[in-house]
């Protein structure tokens, strides 16, 4: 039962309006293509009123999976000049055109939810096909994105993290050479206030990293070995660990014992490896630079995905709850993407402070599953109040509740339908 039938109707209308026939754009104008983790969360929204459409969302996504197993972060199903960098800049040579990088691996977790909600039939053909796609994707991460052999995820472009301009990347991005970038025309600031988007000097670095990948012919082994940006991302690492747990449940249900053994070994490896990301001074899990070994030392919303991943000692979890209490004292709405007072905190600028409901959802789910129902409910209530106050924006100020980024945003609508509006 929805807490607000009018918002329920609006949320459904947003998903239907952003539907492009088998895939959903995040919002009109700003993001005119299909994005990887957006589609996974959008499927949860569709599942509340059109289950066939929910399945088709992720089936369309994996239809563009590369032969090596990578599921790209953008699929360019049709031409649209309103976005940069478009398919001609990526030049991956794929059909349909795609970007050359990936995004957070949440798909297996969403797949398990869809499957279990329909009765968990091990013979379900749609689940079985998508299971194989997810398994190939997870194997790609293991092959190309675990250079330290500790079960953690290295990213080679900050866009892969989904937390594009997080302050966690600042030091690593500062080393990226932009001398050969050349002129280009951004499109994002023509759709939303530039004060809510990454700065120009940051965008130059993003383009330089893209150009390196293109010059490598999108050879993922070469990029992972020599790329100018290589970070072990706490968010991706936590989400992949959780996704491996969910994929294991699917493997066991089908009797795929070989894959189940493989997944158990990877889960154990990641559980052991996660301590490498623990920063005792910060009292939280933080991303680390592969090139320098330095920890970001920053408490972000991704730090709290430890509960979602099911990791951390009793003492570590207590430190994380203490950090959550501290953040709750400075933020009117949980969960900000960066703790107030941190380096480069900005309550309106993209991932340097604003609340993003998909991360809040995963954190709340983890908190509830790990025995912190009070914190899970606080985050859920804050998320609902943000939508009730500002509407279905891309993100929100943790201080004022003001919406930021694109309006009528698909995954925000999905979060109302599947989670915080219930």
Catalytic residues: 164, 394
Q: Any residues with CB less than 8 A from the CB of 128 and at least 6 apart, and which?
A: 254
CA distance 312 to 320: 9
Q: Any residues with CB less than 8 A from the CB of 338 and at least 6 apart, and which?
A: 166, 167, 298, 299, 300, 301, 344, 345, 351, 352, 353
CA 197 to chain centre: 17
CA distance 365 to 100: 31
Q: Any residues with CB less than 8 A from the CB of 58 and at least 6 apart, and which?
A: 39, 40, 43, 107, 110, 111, 130
Residue with token string 């959780």: 242
Tokens of 51: 């289950």
Give the C-alpha distances (Å, rounded to integers) separating 38 from 43, 115, 344: 9, 19, 26
Taking a C-beta distance cutoff of 8 angstroms, is the pair 82, 187 a contact?
yes
Residue 353 DSSP label: S
284-285 vs 403-404, strand pairing mode: unpaired
Three-state SS at 119: coil
- Strands in 288-289's sheet, in edge-to-edge order, are 154-155, 231-232, 288-289
């Amino acid at each position: 039962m929805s807490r607000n039938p009018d918002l329920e109707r609006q949320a459904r209308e947003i998903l239907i309006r952003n539907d492009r026939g088998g895939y959903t754009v995040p919002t009109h104008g700003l993001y005119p293509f299909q994005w990887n983790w957006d589609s996974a969360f959008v499927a949860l929204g569709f599942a509340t009123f059109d289950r066939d459409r929910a399945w088709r969302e992720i089936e369309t996504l994996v239809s563009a999976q590369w032969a090596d197993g990578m599921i790209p972060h953008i699929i360019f199903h049709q031409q649209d000049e309103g976005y940069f960098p478009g398919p001609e800049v990526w030049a991956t040579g794929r059909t349909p055109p795609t970007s050359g990088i990936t995004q957070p691996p949440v798909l297996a977790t969403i797949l398990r939810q869809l499957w279990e909600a329909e009765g968990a039939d091990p013979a379900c053909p749609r689940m079985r096909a998508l299971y194989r796609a997810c398994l190939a994707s997870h194997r790609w991460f293991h092959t190309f994105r675990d250079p330290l052999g500790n079960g953690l995820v290295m990213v080679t472009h900050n866009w892969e993290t989904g937390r594009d301009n997080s302050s966690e990347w600042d030091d690593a991005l500062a080393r990226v050479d932009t001398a050969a970038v050349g002129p280009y025309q951004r499109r994002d600031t023509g759709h939303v206030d530039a004060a809510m988007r990454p700065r120009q000097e940051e965008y130059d670095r993003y383009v330089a990293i893209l150009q390196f990948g293109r010059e490598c012919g999108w050879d993922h082994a070469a990029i992972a070995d020599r790329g100018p940006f290589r970070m072990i991302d706490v968010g991706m690492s936590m989400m992949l660990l959780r996704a491996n747990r969910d994929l294991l449940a699917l493997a066991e249900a089908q009797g795929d014992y070989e894959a189940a053994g493989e997944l158990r070994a990877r889960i154990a490896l990641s559980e052991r490896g996660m301590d490498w990301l623990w920063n005792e001074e910060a009292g939280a899990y933080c991303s680390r630079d592969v090139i320098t070994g330095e920890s970001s030392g920053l408490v972000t919303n991704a730090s709290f995905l430890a509960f979602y991943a099911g990791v951390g000692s009793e003492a570590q979890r207590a430190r994380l709850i203490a950090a959550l209490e501290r953040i709750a004292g400075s933020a009117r709405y949980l969960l900000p993407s960066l703790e107030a007072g941190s380096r480069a905190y900005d309550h309106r600028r993209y991932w340097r402070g604003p609340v993003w409901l998909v991360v809040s959802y995963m954190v709340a789910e983890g908190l509830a599953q790990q025995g912190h129902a009070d914190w899970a409910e606080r985050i859920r209530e804050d998320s609902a109040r943000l939508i009730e106050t500002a509407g279905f924006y891309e993100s929100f100020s943790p201080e004022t509740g003001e919406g930021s980024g694109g309006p009528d945003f698909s995954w925000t609508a999905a979060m109302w339908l599947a989670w915080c509006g219930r």
